[in-house]
């Protein structure tokens, strides 16, 4: 078991908070907040560690799903605002967590066409 002080929050928890909070915001503000959160996404969860328990307990899958959900939310905002720079940035974040994901590749292509 890995016990953390209750004052410590993980990147995954930050992303979950952003999902809740941005639902109450205007699109432009939500996009900026989601983009800031996605800057925490550098790679697959636990990729630089040897934590085999994370995969066995489904934690990695849960974090990948959460990050992908935030990417999709941010991409929707970016498309509605026609902010193709933001769309490129969020699709890159999606590809960091799910390399080769066709949805994120499509978003990146769309952003490239309009940039």
The DSSP annotation for 91-113 comes to HHHHHHHSTT-HHHHHHHHHHHH
27 phi and psi angles, rounded to 5 deg: -55, -45
Specify whether the CB–CB gap between 115 and 88 falls below 8 A: yes
d(CA 94, CA 89): 9
d(CA 73, CA 22): 9
More confident position, 50 or 18: 18
Name the token pair of 56: 């066995």
What is the four-CA torsion angle of 20, 26, 27, 33, rounded to 10 degrees?
-50
Residue 115: what pLDDT?
75
Tens of pLDDT, residues 48-106: 556 555 455 566 688 889 999 999 999 999 999 999 999 999 999 999 999 999 999 99
């Amino acid at each position: 078991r890995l016990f953390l002080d209750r004052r410590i929050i993980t990147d995954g928890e930050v992303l979950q908070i952003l999902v809740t909070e941005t639902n109450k915001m205007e699109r432009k503000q939500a996009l900026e907040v989601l983009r800031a959160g996605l800057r925490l996404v550098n790679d697959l969860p636990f990729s630089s560690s040897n934590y085999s328990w994370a995969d066995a307990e489904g934690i990695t899958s849960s974090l990948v799903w959460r990050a992908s959900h935030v990417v999709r939310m941010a991409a929707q905002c970016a498309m509605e605002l026609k902010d193709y720079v933001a769309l490129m940035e969020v699709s890159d974040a999606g590809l960091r967590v799910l390399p080769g994901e066709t949805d994120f590749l499509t978003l990146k292509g769309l952003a490239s066409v309009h940039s």
